[in-house]
Structures are given as structure tokens and as C-alpha cells.
Chains A and B, each alone.
Chain A
Amino acid sequence: MSLLHRGRWITLLGLALLAGVYVRALAFTPVERLQGPAQKIYYLHVPAAIWAETAMVLVGLGSIFYLFLKDRRLDRFAAASAEVGTVFAAIVLTTGPIWGKPIWGTWWTWDARLTSTLLLFFLYIGYLLLRGAVRDPALGARYAAVLGICGMCLVPFIHLSVYLFRTLHPQPIILKPSAPSLPGSMLATWLFSLGVFTLLYVGFVTQRYALSLLWEERNGA
């Protein structure tokens, strides 16, 4: 089975399971007392946010190894991870306001977490623009790697600003130093969803990777 097909199957499986997440979230997980049904978006929002950020870190790691090993597979992976990260950041930026309207009473607030995802999104856009702006592929890969590494190092600084800047955002519920404070069934649904997003990330990246491989073969590069 070709890489492209494998990626396609992983993605399809991920999408099917995502439907499963929502069946479970809507039918078998209790409605949150204060937020009501709007909270259901949380199962989409937070895993997407986690993977949008993780993708940037993986772009950075791929870039470091690319600069040293000059292995084009690493560059292809970094490029694929950046595109998938862009999509996930877009999901976060779409679901955030949808949740924010009923809960905060406004579509957009300059809340630090939403802002930092927006910055991450801009970072991705810049990365993709830079890749497109250089004609020689080897040069473009090297430039993108430099930006990818800087981007990875920027992520913790964006996070630091989250804790320093006053924020409207619900504080982290699961990924915090003390034990998770989510009821068991919600936690189970959430973990299920995180797993599904992991699968989706792998599926998307595999497909994108396979496509750039095909593109390079077609263009003889």
C-alpha cells in the first residue's frame, strides 16, 4: 500500500472515530452544569489546540535535524506538520468564538490563550509564505528550517505571556500541575478525543508528506 493510501486510511479512521467522539459526547457524557451544551465544543477545541501547538514543536525539531543531517525527509515532514498545524490552529480559532459567544457573550476577546493561538496561526502563515517565496527548493527548505526553529522557541514565550497577562479564559482543567478536576466520564471522552486528534494529525501529515514526495518525483527535483 502506498504512503498516500495509508495516510488516507488513517485519516478516514480518524474522521469516523471523531464522529464517535461526538456520539459519546452528546449522548453519553453529562452536560456541564454551568456552561450547558456549549461545553461540548471543548472536546474539539482543546485537543485541536494541543495538536496545533505540538505540531509547531515538531516543525522545530524536524528543522533542527534537517539543518544538521540535510535529510530531505525531515524537511518534507516539517512542511507537512506546519500545514496540518495551520489547519488545527484554524479549528481552534473557529471553535473558540463559537463557544465564546454563549459563554462570554462575545465572539472575540483579546484573551491571552485565544491571542496566543492567533499568534501561532500567524506564525504558521509566515512559515508557509516563506516556503512559497523562495524559488530554489534547497534554499527554501533551509530558510524554512531557520524560521521553524525560531517558531518553536517562541511558543514558550507566548505561553509565559499567558500566565503573566490577565486572562478571561477558563484555566487549564486537565494539563495542570495538580490532579485533573474533570468528572471521570468527561475526562474519558476528552482523552478519547485527544487520541482521535492524534490519529488525525498522523493521517494528515502522512498524506501531505506523500503528496510532496509525488510532487518532487513529478518535477524531477
Chain B
Amino acid sequence: MAELLRQAWAVARKDLLLEFRTRTAIVSAVVFTALVLTVFNFGRDPTAVSALDLAPTILWVTFTFAAMLALNRAFQLELENQALEGLLVSPLSRTSLYWGKLLANLAFVAVVESVGLPLFVLFFNVPVGRVLLPLVAVIALATVGFVAVGTLFSALVIRTRFAELLLVVLLLPFLVPPLIGAVQVTARLLGDRPLSEAVGYLKLLAAYDIVFVSLASFLFRFTVDE
């Protein structure tokens, strides 16, 4: 177990170092987030729909789209000089590789979300001060689930044609349960409703995380080998 985590950390650290060196992907993803939030502002009629009604949807559609950019990147960067082949020849366990990629993806998405959330508050004038902590917790809870599935699928499509497009098509049905859960809980939080109303959705999000993180950790070994 210690060896598993040590190796996973080595992979994640390497990914983040690479990301830090180039910064192309992270800057693009942050700019993309800002652009989507801007576009949403023009895509609604401010006299008909209040910002607060639409806010949870805007937040989560933005976050999930931005996350897809991160997911595409995860195994793309292993194609340079066929580094993936090197990883597979090395004693690195497949599960460690998955966890390393998952960690790096989560760090990447977390950066995008931590820039996106203040922008969202600024653009849509949503008061989040009182619920900031639970809101961050919900964002984390929902993000872990769909990034776990996305990391698995990004390995699945790496050897196929049209990998970027296929990833989105495969992933979208899997985004819906966490998206529904996250939007509903966020709406309760922003609307100052008691959290007890959202217990069902919180359970859904937690169950999704547990099921798909374990399932993906187990299934990953079947995806990367030739």
C-alpha cells in the first residue's frame, strides 16, 4: 500500500511538474472557464430569469466542461516519445498509475475550479459567503466522482481514432448523476434551504464516488495494456 501510494505520488508529481513547465493546458482551461461564464451571461434574459435561479446550472456546466479539457490532457502527454510504453514496462503498478493520474487530474480541476468559483461569484453576484465551506465540500464531492470515471475513460480512448471526441461522448451519460446531485445541492445551499433537504442527493454523490473510484481503480489495468 505504501509502495502503491509512493508510486502514484511520483506519477502525479511528474504530471504537475510538466504542467507547471508548459502551463498551456492550465491557462487554456482557466481562460475557457472564464469564457464559458461570460457566454452564459449573454445567454440568459436578465429580466426573465434571475441569476440565482440559473446559477447552480451555470456553475456545474462550466466545471464539467472545463474538467473534460483536463481529462483529455492526462494521457495525451504520455504519448510524447511513447512515455506510456515506458511506464508500462517499468515496475509501476497499473493501480498506482491510475491513482497518480487521478491525483494530477484532481489537482488540475481544483485549480480551474478555484479560479472559476470567484469569477462565478463576481459575474453573477451570487452571495456564497455564508455557505462557502459546504459549497466547497459539495464541489469536491461531485468532482471526485466524475474525474474518477473520466480518468479511466481517457485511458480507454487513447488508442482509438478521434480520442478527444469519443471521450466526451462516452463520458456524458456518466456525468449526469453527479451533475444532477451537485446542481440540486448547490441550489439548496444558495437558496438558504436547510441541508437536510439535500440529504438524498448527498448520499447519491457519496455513493457515486465510492462505487466509481473503486470500480475504476480495479478496471484500469484492462485499459492501458496493448
Complex Cα distance, B223 from A87, in Å, reads 28
Are A146 and B169 in contact, with the CB atoms below 8 A? no
Q: Establish whether residues A125 and B169, one from each chain, have CB atoms under 8 Å apart when the complex forms.
A: yes
Closest to A151 in B: B173
For B223, list chain A residues within 8 Å (CB). Answer: 142-143, 146
Query: Do B160 and A134 touch across chains, with their CB atoms under 8 A apart?
Result: yes
Q: Residue B215 contacts which of A143, A150, A161 (CB distance < 8 angstroms)?
A: A150
Residues of A within 8 A of B208 (CB): 157
Residues of A within 8 A of B200 (CB): 164
Residues in A whose Cβ lies below 8 Å from that of B211 = 153, 157
CB-defined contacts of B226 to chain A, threshold 8 Å: 139
Beyond A122-B172, A143-B156, A143-B160, 16 additional pairs, beta carbon < 8 A: A67-B222, A122-B169, A122-B173, A126-B166, A126-B169, A133-B161, A139-B159, A145-B222, A146-B219, A149-B215, A153-B215, A154-B173, A154-B177, A157-B177, A164-B201, A164-B204
**Interface: B174 (CB within 8 A):** yes
Q: Is B176's CB under 8 angstroms from A158's CB?
A: yes
Chain A contacts of B169 at CB under 8 A?
122, 125-126, 129
Task: Check A221 for interface membership: any CB of B closer than 8 A.
Answer: no
Residues 148-174 of B, flagged 1 when their CB comes within 8 A of A and 0 if not, give: 010011001101111000100110111
Residues of chain A within 8 A (CB-CB) of B166 are 126, 129-130, 133
Say whether A126 contacts B215, CB under 8 Å: no
Listed A/B pairs (12) with beta-carbon separation below 8 Å: A119-B173, A122-B173, A129-B169, A133-B160, A133-B161, A133-B162, A142-B223, A143-B222, A151-B173, A157-B207, A160-B204, A164-B200
Among residues of B, the one whose C-beta sits closest to the C-beta of A133 is: B160
B63 interface residue per 8 A CB criterion: no
Chain A interface residues toward B at CB < 8 A: 67, 119-120, 122-123, 125-126, 129-130, 133-134, 139, 142-143, 145-147, 149-151, 153-154, 157-158, 160-161, 164-165
Which residues of B have CB within 8 Å of A165?
Answer: 180
A-facing residues in B159-213 (Cβ within 8 Å): 159-162, 166, 169-170, 172-174, 176-177, 180-181, 184, 200-201, 204, 207-208, 211-212
How many angstroms from the CA of A139 to the CA of B216 in the assembled complex? 18
Name B's A-contacting residues (CB within 8 A). Answer: 149, 152-153, 156-157, 159-162, 166, 169-170, 172-174, 176-177, 180-181, 184, 200-201, 204, 207-208, 211-212, 215-216, 219, 222-223, 226
Chain B residues whose C-beta falls within 8 Å of the C-beta of A142 in the assembled complex: 222-223
Bound Cα distance from A153 to B200, whole angstroms: 19
With a CB–CB cut-off of 8 A, which chain A residues contact B181? 161
Bound-state CA distance A219–B219 (Å) is 30
Partner of A154, one of B160, B174, B204: B174
Chain B residues, CB < 8 A from A150: 149, 152, 174, 212, 215-216, 219
Of the candidates B170, B208, B215, B226, the one having the most CB atoms from chain A within 10 angstroms of its own CB is B170
- A157 and B173 contacting across the interface, CB-CB below 8 Å: no
Q: Is the CB of A146 within 8 A of B222?
A: yes
List residues of chain B with CB within 8 A of the CB of A145: 222
Q: How far is the CA of A157 from the CA of B181 in the complex (A)?
A: 11
**Chain B contacts of A161 at CB under 8 A?**
176-177, 180-181, 204
Q: Complex Cα distance A122/B223, Å?
A: 21
CA of A129 to CA of B156 in the docked complex: distance in angstroms?
12
**B219-A149 in contact (CB<8A):** yes
Please measure, in the bound complex, the distance between the C-alpha atom of A130 and the C-alpha atom of B155, giving whole angstroms: 12
Q: Within the complex, what minimum Cβ distance (angstroms) separates B204 from chain A?
A: 5
What separation, in Å, do the CA atoms of A145 and B177 have in the docked complex?
22
3 closest residue pairs by CB, A with B:
A133-B160, A157-B177, A126-B170
> What is the minimal beta-carbon distance from B218 to any residue of chain A, in angstroms?
9
Distance in angstroms between the alpha carbons of A157 and B201 in the assembled complex: 11
Residues of A within 8 A of B157 (CB): 130, 133
Chain A residues, CB < 8 A from B219: 146, 149-150
Q: Given A129-B169, A160-B204 in contact, is the A134-B215 Cβ separation under 8 Å?
A: no
Instruction: Find the A residue at minimum CB distance from B172.
Output: A122
| Bound-complex Cα distance A2 to B170 (A) | 36
